[in-house]
Amino acid sequence: MTATDDVMDALVRTTFEVAGVLTRIGGEHDLSLTQLRVLGILRDRRARVTELAAYLGLDKSTMSGLVDRAERRGLLTRGKNPDDGRVVDVYTTPAGLELAQRVEDEARRALTPMTGRLDAEQLDQLAKLLELVLTRP
Amino acid sequence: MTATDDVMDALVRTTFEVAGVLTRIGGEHDLSLTQLRVLGILRDRRARVTELAAYLGLDKSTMSGLVDRAERRGLLTRGKNPDDGRVVDVYTTPAGLELAQRVEDEARRALTPMTGRLDAEQLDQLAKLLELVLTRP
DNA sequence: TCGGCATGGTTGGCATTGCCAACCATGCCG
DNA sequence: CGGCATGGTTGGCAATGCCAACCATGCCGA
C-alpha cells in the first residue's frame, strides 16, 4: 500500500462522506445532489442549458428535465437569449436564490464536525493541498 | 470568507470531482456509484441486506433492489444465515470480485492525475489531514 | 405454550434521474 | 437559398430511491 493509495482511499471515503451530508441536507429541502449543484452554479451567474449539462457531465436532455422540474417549482426561470434565438438561458428566481443560500448555510453547519478537529494551520494546509488536487493539468 | 469556508469549498469541489471520476469509471462497466460501493464493501466481507442499506444510508427496499439486479448479473449471491432465519447474507461471486478489482484498478489510474502533482511529503500530509476529517466524533 | 411485538426482507407503486434517438427551430455559410 | 451545424425538447426506457404494506422469523411475557 503506497502513500498514493492511502490518499486515494481517504479521498474516496471523504467523497462519500461529504456527498452523504449534501444529499441529506438537500433531501430535507427536496433537492437532489444534481439540483443542488445547478442551483449553486446559478447562484452567481446565468447559464444556458447545454452549458449546465456539460459542466455537470450530463446529457442535455437530462438537464432539460431538471430545469423543467425546478422551473415548475418556481426555483428557476427560462429566458430567451437575445443574441441567439436557439439558446435558452436559465437563471434563478428570488425563491431559488433564497433556497440555495439556506441550503448552503445548512451544509456548512453540517460539515463543521468534519473540519472541526483541525486547527487553523491544518485548515490552511488542507485547503492548499486540495487546491493542488483540484488543479487541472 | 474564513479558512473553514475555504476548506469546505475545496472539500465539496473535490467531492464532485472524485464522484465524477468514479461515476465515469463505474459507468464503463455498467455500475452505478452505489453498486460500486456495495461491491467495494463486499470485497472484504459478507453483509446482510439491512446492514448494507444502513451503511450507505439507503432504505432497505432500495438495497433489496440493488442486490436483485446485481445478483441477476451474477455479481452477488444471496445466502441464508444459519443463525437467524430472517437474515439474508449477501456476498460476492468470483465474477463480482474480479469486476470489483478491475474497477478499483481503473479508478486508481483515473485518480492519478489528481494526486500526481503532490510530492511524497504532501501525500502523507493530505492522508493524515483527511483521516482527521473522517474521524467520527 | 401461545399470543403479540420486534426484526429482516420483499413487493408494488410512485417520482426522479439519466441515457439515447428522434425531432424542431434557429443560425451559418457556400 | 439549400444544406449543415448547433441548441433544446420530447418520448421511451432502465435504474435509483422512497414509502407503505406485507410475509416470515424470532423473541418474550403472561
Q: How far apart are CA B15 and CA A7, in angstroms?
A: 14
What's the CA A80/C1' C26 distance, rounded, in angstroms? 12
CB A111 within 8 A of CB A123: no
* Contact list, A100 vs chain B (CB under 8 Å): none
Q: What is the pLDDT of residue A136?
A: 79
Q: How far apart are CA A134 and CA A68, in angstroms?
A: 31
Residue of A nearest to B107 (CA): A8
Model-level pTM greater than 0.95?
A: no
Q: Which helix (H) or strand (E) holds A47?
A: strand A47-48
Q: What is the pLDDT of residue A106?
A: 97
pLDDT above 90: residue B3: no
Q: What is the pLDDT of residue B136?
A: 79
Question: Which residues have a Cβ under 8 Å from the Cβ of A45 and sit 6 or more positions away?
Answer: none
CB B2 within 8 A of CB A123: no
Give, as one character, the DSSP assignment of residue A59: -
Nearest by CB to A3, from B19, B108, B123: name it: B123
Q: Hey, what amino acid is at A109?
A: R
Low-confidence ranges of chain A (pLDDT < 70): 1, 137
Q: What is the pLDDT of residue A91?
A: 96
CB A136 within 8 A of CB B116: no
A&B contacts, CB < 8 Å: 144
- In this structure, the number of other CB atoms found within 10 A of the CB of residue A112 comes to 11
Q: Hey, what amino acid is at A58?
A: L
% of chain B with per-residue pLDDT over 70: 99
What's the CA B32/C1' D15 distance, rounded, in angstroms? 9
CB B78 within 8 A of CB B67: yes
Residue A35 grid cell = 439540483
Find the length of chain A: 137
Alpha helices in chain A (DSSP H): 3-27, 33-44, 49-56, 60-72, 94-115, 120-134
Rounded to the nearest 5 degrees, what angle is found at the Cα of B40, between the Cα atoms of B37 and B44? 145
Find the length of chain B: 137
Is B58 near strand D, with its CB below 7 A from some atom of it?
Answer: yes
Residue B85 grid cell = 432465519
Q: What is the pLDDT of residue B88?
A: 97
Q: What is the pLDDT of residue A126?
A: 97
Residues forming a β-bridge with B48: B89
Residue with cell 451544509: A107
pLDDT in tens, B52-101: 999 999 999 999 999 999 999 999 999 999 999 999 999 999 999 999 99
Residue A127 grid cell = 485547503
CB A18 within 8 A of CB B12: yes
Q: Hey, what amino acid is at B128?
A: K
